[in-house]
Amino acid sequence: MACHAAWTSRKLRLRIAPAFLILASGLSLAGCIQSTGDFGRPHQGFSENVLYPFTGSIGAAVRGEPVSTYALTEDEKELRNRAWNFLMPEVDAPRGAWHQDHLGFYRHLPPRQSDVTLYHRTIMGGPQLGTFGGDSPILRRVMNPEGDFRSLTSRYNRVRDSISADHALIPYFKLVASQVAQADHVRVRSLEHVAHLTAEQRQQALARVCENAMIVARVNWAFFDRAAQYRYSLEHLLVEGPEREAIPAERTLMAYEQDIGAFTKDTRIPEHCIREVAAPPVLRARPLVRKG
């Protein structure tokens, strides 16, 4: 994402970067002791409510991302809570990937580069190499000779169930994203009519609009990447062991792709945020195997 002079200065970056790196290292270790609360997120407390958001905003500013110190509205809080479900991998994913995404969610680090093999490696029992290495059936068997499942049928069903669970949450995310977008539209229009508005207050309001747009865009990218991971898993299951369960799983995936493609197509990024926020291409639903 392009750096914007309004968000930070070069001097600020040079002063903050060393301290930020130390904080990020400590936070990555602190994540090991979190327990789960609402929306699958760690329980709320000082770290989740204060420390992570504050230090994450510093990291985002260093990277030139929009940062606002304004308080969050209830809909903005809900948007971030529901985004968690899509921005984090499976709970039993390799821990390295989970911690990178956790730090990415709070913006201590930029979003982790998507790994199309991650979901398949998670459900097949390996290779459990965090964010390193690819999908190797031989290495999987060497590292996990007993395996983590009894039949390939259960793997097809798990993929289908994961897609269905994601798909069921999309309408709720769409609703809150729409409510936040409507409120941001009112916010931007009101800037021209509020008396005694300082340049700093205007900048903070516009930064919050771009923060919200960035969250929606990143969830769109998460949809796009998850669909690719589910497709990879089903296609490789089809090669490893064709089962009748591939048919309902394929139909579930195509319905999911169609819905998230429509959501991406309908997502509108505010004009003043386009330099900082980018959405993925619109995904088209397609079968697992295409002839010709």
Name residues whose C-beta falls within 8 Å of residue 201's C-beta, 6 or more positions apart in sequence.
none
Instruction: Please name the helix (run of DSSP H) or strand (run of DSSP E) that holds residue 59, with its range, or none.
Output: helix 52-62
Q: Looking at residue 37, what is its pLDDT?
A: 56
Answer for the pair 148, 124: CB distance below 8 angstroms, yes or no. Answer: yes
Q: Which 3 state secondary structure label does DSSP give 36?
A: strand
Instruction: Say what the alpha-carbon torsion angle 84, 88, 89, 92 is, to the nearest 10 degrees.
Output: -80
The 10s digit of each residue's pLDDT in 236-292 is: 999 999 999 999 999 999 999 999 999 999 999 999 998 889 999 999 999 987 654
Q: How much is the pTM?
A: 0.83
Q: How far from 67 is each of 45, 57, 59, 210, 269, CA to CA, in Å?
A: 22, 6, 10, 8, 17
The 10s digit of each residue's pLDDT in 40-83 is: 677 677 888 889 999 999 999 999 999 999 999 999 999 999 99
The 10s digit of each residue's pLDDT in 136-169 is: 888 888 887 777 777 899 999 999 999 999 999 9
Q: How far apart are CA 38 and CA 96, in angstroms?
A: 23
Q: Looking at residue 38, what is its pLDDT?
A: 58
Q: Which of 54, 70, 49, 66 is nearest to 19 (CA)?
A: 54
Q: How far apart are CA 221 and CA 111, in angstroms?
A: 10
The 10s digit of each residue's pLDDT in 176-233 is: 999 999 999 999 999 999 999 999 999 999 999 999 999 999 999 999 999 999 999 9
Answer for the pair 249, 163: CB distance below 8 angstroms, yes or no. Answer: yes
Q: Looking at residue 112, what is its pLDDT?
A: 85
Q: Does the pLDDT at position 21 exceed 50?
A: no
Q: Which 3 state secondary structure label does DSSP give 30?
A: helix
Q: Looking at residue 78, what is its pLDDT?
A: 96
Q: How far apart are CA 109 and CA 113, in angstroms?
A: 11
- The domain spans of the chain are 69-273
